[in-house]
Amino acid sequence: MSVKSSIGDTSVNLLLDYEDIPIWTPVETGKFSVSSAWKLLRQKRNTSQFEAKIWYKDIPYKMSFTTWRAIHNRLSTDDKILKFGIGIYTNCNCCVDTRMVPALETTEHLFYNGSFAQNIWQVFTEVRHQIQKQHLEKLAV
């Protein structure tokens, strides 16, 4: 039996005393909303504290997205472009501009291993130590 004939053979008993209204059963009110449909369709998962800080409502979306791409190694760095067979100048612009030892531009190089990144992390480390020192001095008083 085909679906078409199955539908055609199905009898529907209508109650003439009542208005025929659609009811959206997933919600108590019976009224459809895009929000309720979205909640049914999406796969909700627990977010970690780390993800909550990346996707915080007051952080511009482009910054959150770039951070997410960097963490998941999805930035369009030279090493990825080379995989497509596109010949490009493959030295990190940060290192070349600062006369540091140039290297292939990768996510790790840009944010951790590169000379420029190392200098930035050094500054953050020094500031962190100064803040900790000031905090400990205030506690000692």
* pLDDT for the residue 125: 94
The secondary structure element, H or E, covering residue 139 is: helix 115-140
Q: What are the DSSP calls for 51-115, one per residue?
A: HHHHT-TTS-HHHHHHHHHHHTT-S--HHHHHHTT-----S-HHHHHTTS------HHIIIIISH
Identify which of 13, 16, 14, 32 has the alpha carbon closest to the alpha carbon of residue 24: 32
* pLDDT for the residue 34: 92
Q: Within the chain, which residues score under 70 in pLDDT?
A: 1, 89-90, 96-102, 141
Question: Widest CA span of the chain, in angstroms?
Answer: 88
* pLDDT for the residue 123: 95
- Residue 39 CB: number of other CB atoms within 10 A? 12
Q: What are the DSSP calls for 3-26, one per residue?
A: HHHHHHH------TTS------TT
